[in-house]
Chains A and B, each alone.
Chain A
Amino acid sequence: MKTDRIYIMTDLEGVAGVENFEQWCFTKGRYYDRARALLTAEINAAVKGFFAGGAKSIVVSDGHGDGGVDPETIDPKVELLRGWPNGWPLELDKSFDAVAFVGQHAKASTVGAHLAHTQSLHWIDCTVNGVSIGEFGQVVVCASELGIPVIFGCGDLAFTKEAQALVPGIETVAVKRGLRQDNGIDLNERDYTRHNAGAIHVPPVRARKLIEAGAKRAMARAKKGRYGIVPLKAPFERVVTYRPNDEFKTKRISRETHPTSVIGVLNMPFDPKPLT
């Protein structure tokens, strides 16, 4: 299949060397700038692999809430997308031939994950038609609706397993593995922030070599055969469950449906009700 133009979704929590939320992922954190440098270097490694594998144009999408990509050190051959004022599918469109992920973390409540969450630490889970999907899965279903394959993802080991389960055949690279062995679904938002804070990391220099090689492998495999699209069946129902936090003392649930489009259902506003 064609792999000329690639959309790379990026995030901070799945990067090797990014150790926790408080110091590394929040703007006020002691090492937030170092974390941005680490993500940007992982992106540059992936970009090198994609260009070596024949990519002609690459758009890097900054997916971390507070911003995770350093525009000053990103490979000058790419373009950088920041800000999604139109919601889903986050400016992904049919001009792209493939989607890839760098720095991705696993979905909320994943066992053995590092810094797992979906959208915010407030969410327990998000499902579409009964299939649990995290930030990765949400982009995947949008891409599949547009007919664009997802060919590569790197992040923590739990994320790579999640990716392979959702998108059979996807090329993945794990750069750290989380240590927590229970899912934490009954924790409140504050306690869940610290729940998945332990991991064994591949040091960044080695992680980047693995990522570059993985990206190159993904391109070679994509050229030979088609993979990376998940089957979708309308109508679509999205269900999100929420942890208790300072404002809401109980778990809550939000259900929305769309008759034809999974992108449509992802763009619907939430209306959480207490979970009984």
Chain B
Amino acid sequence: MKRPAIRRPIRKLYVMTDLEGVAGVLNSQDWCLDDGRFYERARVLLTLEVNAAVRGFLAGGVLEVVISDGHGPGGIDPDLLDPRSELIRGWPNGWPLELDKTYDALAFVGQHAKASSLGAHLCHTQNMQHIDFAVNGVSLGEFGQLAVCASELGIPVIFGCGDLAFAKEAEALVPGIETVAVKRGVRRAGPGETLDDHAYRQHNAGAIHVPPERARRLIEAGARRAVAMAGTRGPGLIPLTPPFERVVVLRRHEGHPARTVSRERHSTSVIALLNMPYHPEPEI
């Protein structure tokens, strides 16, 4: 006899955030780098999207929300952040980025798609040098990396908002996740895998945006729905089978005229694997 899934109420939630997946964040140079003309506006736009999500989560019954600032130079404006939440900035211990078993669920705001995605906006994985990052043959972006850590800890991923390509990536990887798309990348002919890191920065710079005000209404409603529906449409966990092998392919870049590949293994833990340093070798 099949037992109905036991639904654990979501009391404490970890929200990972990033800048490139936010509506109104138009490109990398002006909006996402800390010397960019509109970098401060981009931080405001992300923080307001986070606040919209927080409103939805709290309205859905979540008691405690911890926001993790995931953008390299910083993406959250602490002054504007909903005072009912807490903010993590800095991850001195590496993966899983201070996520632990005290959390009941994981969510994402402002997330972009993984490197080499088609039809994505500002997609990348960690930096512009990554062509692909895979664990046991499954390609993972920044979303997927934290999602596998959460899965190892038994924490379901319930919500993600960002560009449409990210939303599709999240749904493909995590059965049952609730997503909201706030922009869609302008289609490109190919994934740009032969470009160097500088050329790749320009490759996915076009998008059609939902204006921020409307995006925030969609996010608030989606976050609320995610808490209400959690566990009903899928487990929110990625099945993991040890041993784990990570394969990272890097673009040609300054000092490295050809692509390189890094392969590492761990016998029991995907979190431990993600914490291993890269050993890039020329691609054969």
| A85 contacts the other chain (CB 8 A) | yes
Question: Using an 8 Å CB-CB cutoff, how does the interface string of A201-218 with B read, 1 for contact, 0 for none?
Answer: 000000000000000000
Question: Using an 8 Å CB-CB cutoff, how does the interface string of A57-81 with B read, 1 for contact, 0 for none?
Answer: 0010010000100011011111111
A27 contacts B37, CB within 8 Å?
A: yes
Inter-chain CA distance A80–B215, complex, in Å, is 12
Q: Which residues of B contact A85 (CB under 8 A)?
A: 186, 188, 202-206
Given contacts A67-B26, A71-B26, A72-B24, contact A84 B206 (CB under 8 A): yes
Inter-chain CA distance A67–B202, complex, in Å, is 15
| B86 contacts the other chain (CB 8 A) | no
Binding site of B, secondary structure by majority: helix, strand, loop or mixed?
A: loop
- Please pick, from B24, B206, B214, the residue contacting A81 in the complex, using a CB distance under 8 A: B206
- Please pick, from A59, A83, A86, the residue contacting B26 in the complex, using a CB distance under 8 A: A83
A-B contact pairs, 24 of them (CB 8 A): A27-B30, A27-B37, A71-B23, A71-B24, A71-B26, A72-B41, A72-B212, A72-B213, A75-B211, A76-B210, A80-B208, A81-B206, A83-B27, A83-B186, A83-B205, A84-B206, A85-B186, A85-B203, A85-B205, A86-B187, A86-B189, A86-B206, A91-B186, A91-B208
Inter-chain CA distance A27–B41, complex, in Å, is 15
| B19 contacts the other chain (CB 8 A) | no
| B207 contacts the other chain (CB 8 A) | yes
A82 contacts B211, CB within 8 Å?
A: no
Given contacts A67-B26, A71-B26, contact A83 B211 (CB under 8 A): no
Given contacts A71-B24, A71-B26, A76-B213, contact A81 B37 (CB under 8 A): no
B41 contacts A91, CB within 8 Å?
A: no
A82 contacts B206, CB within 8 Å?
A: yes
Instruction: Mark A residues whose CB is within 8 Å of B.
Output: 27, 59, 62, 67, 71-72, 74-86, 91
Q: Which residues of B contact A86 (CB under 8 A)?
A: 186-189, 206
Inter-chain CA distance A145–B212, complex, in Å, is 34
Q: Which residues of A contact B38 (CB under 8 A)?
A: 67
Top 7 closest A-B pairs, CB basis? A83-B206, A71-B24, A76-B214, A76-B213, A82-B26, A80-B209, A76-B211
From 23 to 52 in chain B, residues with beta carbon under 8 angstroms from any chain A beta carbon are: 23-24, 26-27, 30, 37-38, 41, 45
A80 contacts B211, CB within 8 Å?
A: yes
Inter-chain CA distance A105–B212, complex, in Å, is 28
- Min CB–CB distance B147 → chain A (angstroms): 28
Q: Which residues of B contact A83 (CB under 8 A)?
A: 26-27, 186, 205-207
A79 contacts B187, CB within 8 Å?
A: no
Size of the B side of the interface (Cβ < 8 Å), in residues, is 26
From 1 to 34 in chain B, residues with beta carbon under 8 angstroms from any chain A beta carbon are: 23-24, 26-27, 30
- Min CB–CB distance A197 → chain B (angstroms): 23
Q: Which residues of A contact B205 (CB under 8 A)?
A: 83, 85
Q: Which residues of A contact B214 (CB under 8 A)?
A: 76-77
Q: Which residues of A contact B45 (CB under 8 A)?
A: 71-72
Binding site of A, secondary structure by majority: helix, strand, loop or mixed?
A: loop
Question: Using an 8 Å CB-CB cutoff, how does the interface string of B199-243 with A read, 1 for contact, 0 for none?
Answer: 000111111111111100000000000000000000000000000
Inter-chain CA distance A75–B206, complex, in Å, is 20
Q: What residue of chain B has the Cβ atom nearest to residue A36's Cβ? A: B38
A71 contacts B211, CB within 8 Å?
A: yes
B211 contacts A74, CB within 8 Å?
A: yes
Inter-chain CA distance A74–B210, complex, in Å, is 10
Q: Which residues of B contact A91 (CB under 8 A)?
A: 186, 206, 208
A82 contacts B213, CB within 8 Å?
A: no
- Please pick, from A27, A74, A75, A81, the residue contacting B207 in the complex, using a CB distance under 8 A: A81
- Min CB–CB distance B195 → chain A (angstroms): 12
Inter-chain CA distance A91–B41, complex, in Å, is 26
Q: Which residues of A contact B187 (CB under 8 A)?
A: 86
Inter-chain CA distance A84–B26, complex, in Å, is 12
Q: Which residues of A contact B186 (CB under 8 A)?
A: 81, 83-86, 91
Q: What residue of chain A has the Cβ atom nearest to residue B23's Cβ? A: A71
A82 contacts B212, CB within 8 Å?
A: no
- Min CB–CB distance B208 → chain A (angstroms): 5
Inter-chain CA distance A82–B204, complex, in Å, is 11
B209 contacts A79, CB within 8 Å?
A: yes
Q: What residue of chain A has the Cβ atom nearest to residue B42's Cβ? A: A71
Q: Which residues of A contact B30 (CB under 8 A)?
A: 27, 67
Q: Which residues of A contact B204 (CB under 8 A)?
A: 85
Q: Which residues of A contact B208 (CB under 8 A)?
A: 59, 79-81, 91
- Please pick, from A77, A79, A80, A82, the residue contacting B27 in the complex, using a CB distance under 8 A: A82
Inter-chain CA distance A80–B23, complex, in Å, is 10
Q: What residue of chain A has the Cβ atom nearest to residue B211's Cβ? A: A76
- Min CB–CB distance B172 → chain A (angstroms): 24
Q: Which residues of B contact A71 (CB under 8 A)?
A: 23-24, 26, 45, 209, 211-212
Q: What residue of chain B has the Cβ atom nearest to residue A74's Cβ? A: B211
